[in-house]
């Protein structure tokens, strides 16, 4: 059975509404998925929402609604935003889906039987916002959470532990034997050094959090939100093998809930795309759980950077949280998608500024791709009324297309989305230069056939440009292809109306 290429975003925590950071990860997976589909690859692209835990209880209580009402409302906002941003996901999982909860419970019981999970008690410093315990070496001076910069709470409770310490050496061996697993490579040492520093067993249940998946054999405990959330990658892939223990009628009923393709077609995942703040969860805890289950590990976990806005961290207090839907409504969704991946090398931190956005929009899109399209179609229309299906081009034009496409493919393999766009924009700039150097509008006076040949070659090249930009700008790519298709040449509005400086 042919393996599909399985690409995932993290599942987004529904304690608040989606913002630019969530959109960034999801658009990245969408771009890659669209590119691979263009290449004939069978892709399964998963996204979804993480819906359990104390923070959900807190957010719902603040709004005077039940946790389920709150999660339904916020999860729907993610789906709505992904529709607005033209995200071509194949599956959307919610951790409140019964199929997922059944798989989580079955995995917990399996690890309990194998001794990888055991009952104990915990005393330690806990961050309610992170829903995570911190040891002395991780917290800031004065018992402060390193992420939220708030005082940690002293917590004492009975808890089940996952034997994370058991997997210290197996993890280090795996990192060494699979150098692409920790990506980008400059983030690898952070994880390797953390594991080398010694792994402590992980508390994986809570007794004070009611909004969670109950432990089947001890319902006084709910399963730690991170343990529950990470399992989404296999529950969404149809990990029904864990449901086949116990009462036959019960497990058949649960198996019927799983509608994904054959598990072996999807797992192991080819790529988990995550933000750098959750890299450790995905490269330490998650692979250790999979090792405990005897399952293969994902091929790659890639952690990208954070976005600031005009040099400041995004914050509701500062009022600088970027709503990608609002930005898209004003300037077009496709230009926003393209800007996010041209401005900074993917993986590194980036800063969003309207000045940069407008400059990139005008230079890369309006002056380069859009202007070339309008000029060439306008000049061809003066010599003939329609475009041919097949256009003869010189061999060097064919070679240039092939070389550019090869460079684009290599950049995709490295997840260097900025380089992909750099190649596309440079190619378009070369076409603009060709028009400027050959001056077909003047050549048409003495050699109309020669002028037409130049213009049609540029049209053929722009057809490739339209294809290449489609993963980043699917609506614009389709519109470009429509304008450049064989048939009568029509008058169109500018593809990218320039943004005027105020």
Contact in structure between 334 and 476 (CB atoms under 8 Å) = yes
**φ/ψ of residue 488, rounded to 5:** -60, 140
- Please enumerate in sequence order all residues whose Cβ is within 8 A of that of 249, keeping only pairs 6 or more positions apart, or say none: none
From the list 29, 102, 145, 304, the catalytic residue is 145
**φ/ψ of residue 263, rounded to 5:** -55, -40
DSSP per-residue string spanning 172-222 = HHHHHH-TTSEESGGGHHHHHHHHHT-PPPEE-EESS--SSPBPTT-TTSE
Give the end-to-end CA distance of the chain in Å, rounded to a whole number: 58
From the list 68, 113, 210, 313, the catalytic residue is 313
Cα 118 from Cα 221, distance rounded (Å): 13
Catalytic site residue 130? yes
3-state secondary structure of 102: helix
The residue assigned the tokens 């061809």 is: 380
How do strand 182-183 and strand 153-162 relate by DSSP bridges?
A: unpaired
Catalytic site residue 461? no
Contact in structure between 115 and 163 (CB atoms under 8 Å) = yes
From the list 22, 125, 254, 272, the catalytic residue is 22
Q: 131 forms bridges with which residues in the sheet?
A: none
Contact in structure between 457 and 393 (CB atoms under 8 Å) = yes
Nearest to 386 by CA among 284, 460, 484: 484
From the list 29, 35, 125, 127, the catalytic residue is 127
Catalytic site residue 316? yes
From the list 316, 330, 445, 502, the catalytic residue is 316
What does the CA dihedral 316, 322, 323, 327 come to, rounded to 10 degrees? 150
What does the CA dihedral 26, 187, 268, 266 come to, rounded to 10 degrees? 20
Catalytic site residue 244? no
Catalytic site residue 29? no
From the list 77, 79, 110, 130, the catalytic residue is 130
Contact in structure between 25 and 324 (CB atoms under 8 Å) = no
Catalytic site residue 22? yes
Catalytic site residue 148? yes
From the list 3, 83, 148, 208, the catalytic residue is 148
Contact in structure between 70 and 14 (CB atoms under 8 Å) = yes
Cα 159 from Cα 205, distance rounded (Å): 5
- The answer, yes or no, to whether the previous bond of 268 is cis (omega within 30 of 0) is yes
Positions annotated as catalytic residues are 19, 22, 127, 130, 145, 148, 313, 316
């Amino acid at each position: 059975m042919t393996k599909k290429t399985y690409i995932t975003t993290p599942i987004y925590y529904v304690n608040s509404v989606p913002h630019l950071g969530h959109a960034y990860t999801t658009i990245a997976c969408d771009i890659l998925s669209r590119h691979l589909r263009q290449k004939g690859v069978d892709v399964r692209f998963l996204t979804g929402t993480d819906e359990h835990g104390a923070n959900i209880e807190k957010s719902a209580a603040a709004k005077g609604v039940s946790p389920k009402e709150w999660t339904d409302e916020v999860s729907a906002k993610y789906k709505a935003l992904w529709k607005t941003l033209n995200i071509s996901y194949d599956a959307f999982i919610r951790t409140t889906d019964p199929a997922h909860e059944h798989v989580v419970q079955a995995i917990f019981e399996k690890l309990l039987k194998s001794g990888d999970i055991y009952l104990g008690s915990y005393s330690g410093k806990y961050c309610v916002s992170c829903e995570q315990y911190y040891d002395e070496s991780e917290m800031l001076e004065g018992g402060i959470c390193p992420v939220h910069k708030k005082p940690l709470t002293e917590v004492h409770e009975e808890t089940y532990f996952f034997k994370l310490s058991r997997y210290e050496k197996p993890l280090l061996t795996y990192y060494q034997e699979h150098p692409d697993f920790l990506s980008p490579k400059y983030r690898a040492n952070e994880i390797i050094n953390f594991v080398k520093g010694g792994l402590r067993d992980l508390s994986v249940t809570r007794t004070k959090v009611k909004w969670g998946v109950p432990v089947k054999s001890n319902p006084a405990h709910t399963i730690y939100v991170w343990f529950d959330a990470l399992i989404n990658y296999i529950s969404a892939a149809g990990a029904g093998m864990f449901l086949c223990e116990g009462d036959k009628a019960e497990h058949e009923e649960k198996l019927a809930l799983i509608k994904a393709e054959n598990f072996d077609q999807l797992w192991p995942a080819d790529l988990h795309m995550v933000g750098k703040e959750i890299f450790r969860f995905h490269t330490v805890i998650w692979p250790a759980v999979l090792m405990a289950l005897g399952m293969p590990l994902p091929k790659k976990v890639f952690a990208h950077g954070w976005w600031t806005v005009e040099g400041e961290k995004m914050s509701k207090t500062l009022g600088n949280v970027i709503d990608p839907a609002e930005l898209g409504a004003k300037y077009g969704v496709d230009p926003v998608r393209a800007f996010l991946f041209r401005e900074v090398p993917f993986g590194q931190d980036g800063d969003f500024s309207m000045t940069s956005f407008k400059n990139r929009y005008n230079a890369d899109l309006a002056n380069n791709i859009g202007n070339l399209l309008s000029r060439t179609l306008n000049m061809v229309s003066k010599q003939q009324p329609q475009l041919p299906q097949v256009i003869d081009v010189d061999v060097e034009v064919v070679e240039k297309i092939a070389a550019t496409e090869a460079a684009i493919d290599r950049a995709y393999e490295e997840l260097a989305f900025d380089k992909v766009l750099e190649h596309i924009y440079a190619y378009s700039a070369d076409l603009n230069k060709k028009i400027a150097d050959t001056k077909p509008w003047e050549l048409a006076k003495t050699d109309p056939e020669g002028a037409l040949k130049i213009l049609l070659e540029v049209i053929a090249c722009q057809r490739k440009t339209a294809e290449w930009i489609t993963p980043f700008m699917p609506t614009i790519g389709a519109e470009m292809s429509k304008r450049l298709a064989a048939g009568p040449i029509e008058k169109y509005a500018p593809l990218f109306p320039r943004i005027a400086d105020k």
